[in-house]
Amino acid sequence: MTRTIRLTVNGQEHERAVEPRSTLADFLREDLELTGTHVGCEHGVCGACTVLLEGEPVRACLMLAVQADSRRITTVEGLAPAEGLHPIQEAFWARHGLQCGYCTPGILMSVSAFLRERPDPSHEEIREMLAGHLCRCTGYHFIVEAIEAAARALRSSASDRG
Amino acid sequence: MKPAPFEYVAPATLDDAVGALAGEGGDAKVLAGGQSLIPMLALRLARPTLLVDINRIAGLDGIRESPDTLEIGALVRQRDLERWAASRSALFALVLRHVAHPPIRNRGTVVGNVVHADPASELPALLLALDGAVIARGPGGERTVAADQLYRAPLTTSLAADEVATAVRFALPPAGAGWGFAEISRRHGDFALVGAVAVLARAAGGPVTRARLAFFGAGGTPTRGAAAERILEGHDPTPARLAQAARAAADALAPDDDIHATAAYRRRVAATLAERTLAAALARCGSAA
């Protein structure tokens, strides 16, 4: 038995029939072919599948696709502008904030919401936020540095805009 | 893993939700935030035939504050309460920061966490320490279940399968009462190995008038430190008395051995955390909560 849902993903409307047991993560990857959202543990621990729901980070594996009916989702594919990289992606690239990259899309989505709320976070706040994202390459030092660099870049572009 | 197949309904009223639960003969589950239920489905620890999604029911998303109680509706996310607490309650703000991670708190509900009854979770212990209660609606109407009567076993409450928990109510600490909260976990946001929350009120510079202590991660259910409460109430809270109370409460616990820690370790940490949280509560007595 399927249900038809209509939702907005990265600014684009989609209408699909889904099984109730399909998670939002599987729906994004398999139905919409947006494979930037990674699936790790499938029970909310690893953070790889983190996406934005109405601008707030959520685990896409802990939400059913049917629950996303009429909601607005942003995935890592929606983070970058049409050309180039988002400043957070730039910072991760410049500071070696990723190794295998499996955990990266989830971290990028969490960081985008985190820096909106805390434009100038402390080291400790960054580490507390990152505790919700498992990096098995354990490159956490560079990830923290990348987030600090991203915060600086976003603050200076905000002050440029006045 | 993926969840096994189930049917899904998203009723618009509480009566319809209760009706849907009652019609499924115990094989239906309420879906609110889903942050505990969906992992159980994915691991196939739970295999309900029907999910009753209550997210479209109006009127369950309120945080209602009165001078002595705080009532939180079933659709209030942990993050909503965390934001409310930022300017209103240092105790709730600190406890909520320890509940999982922001992406989980954005979806997970306060009520869902309380009735999921994970023995290592923070909010059920806070409910015990604050003489809280759960308000539930079933086919026979509404009832209030005191926290002391709620927790039966790991992941098991005294609520019936056809009841929807519609709100939790915390009794706020009386004016001048102090509190303490501490937990030990391997990483921030992990389930606690052991944790404790304490509330103390005393007559100005005199004996303790009210003591509450609750543990989490120290047995099959969140547990009141009743022995400590008895030792403290009516007596001057000297450091020796706090230590005696903490030891008595920890001795009464029946923690489990598991892959994360031994029972003996948990009991020892519980005694230390009890003493620390009681001392913190005492230090805060008389100042604004």
The label of the residue with tokens 């009127």 reads: B59
pLDDT per position as a tens digit, A90-141: 999 999 999 999 999 999 999 999 999 999 999 999 999 999 999 999 889 9
CB neighbours of residue A64 within 10 Å: 27
Count other Cβ atoms within 10 Å, centred on residue A159: 8
CB contact under 8 A, A132 and B104: yes
Per the CB < 8 Å rule, is B103 touching A61?
Answer: no
Q: Which domain holds residue B192?
A: 178-284
Partner-chain residue, chosen from A47, A56, A129, that has the shortest CB–CB distance to B106: A56
Shared domain for B80 and B155, answered yes or no, is yes
Global pTM value: 0.95
Q: State chain A's mean pLDDT as an integer.
A: 96
pLDDT band for position B287 (cuts 50, 70, 90): low
State which H helix or E strand residue B144 sits in. Answer: strand B141-146
Tokens, residue A73: 């989702």
Q: Can you list the domains of chain A with their CATH numbers? A: 3-78 (3.10.20.30), 87-160 (1.10.150.120)
B45 vs A: CB within 8 A: no
Confidence (pLDDT) at B83:
96
Pair (B210, B253) in one structural domain:
yes
What's the count of helices (H) and strands (E) in chain B, helices before strands?
Answer: 10, 14
Cβ of residue A125 closer than 8 Å to a chain B Cβ: no
Mean model confidence pLDDT for chain B? 96
Residue B1 lies in a domain: no
Which residue is listed with tokens 């945080």? B63
B182 shares a domain with B163:
no
> Both B165 and B245 in a single domain?
no
For residues B137 and B182, membership in a common domain is answered with: no
Same domain, B255 and B195: yes
Specify whether B144 is located in the same domain as B183.
no
Same-domain pairing of B33 and B83: no
The 3-state DSSP class for residue A156 equals helix
Per the structure, the count of domains in chain B is: 3
Q: Identify whether B252 is part of a domain.
A: yes
Q: Is residue B233 part of a domain?
A: yes
The pair of three-digit structure tokens given for residue B144, joined into one six-digit string: 């209030």
Instruction: Indicate the residue of A20, A56, A132 with minimum beta-carbon distance to B101.
Output: A132
**Is B47 in the same domain as B71?**
no
CATH number of B157's domain:
3.30.465.10
- Residue where a domain terminates, one of B147, B171, B195: B171
d(CA B95, CA B100): 11
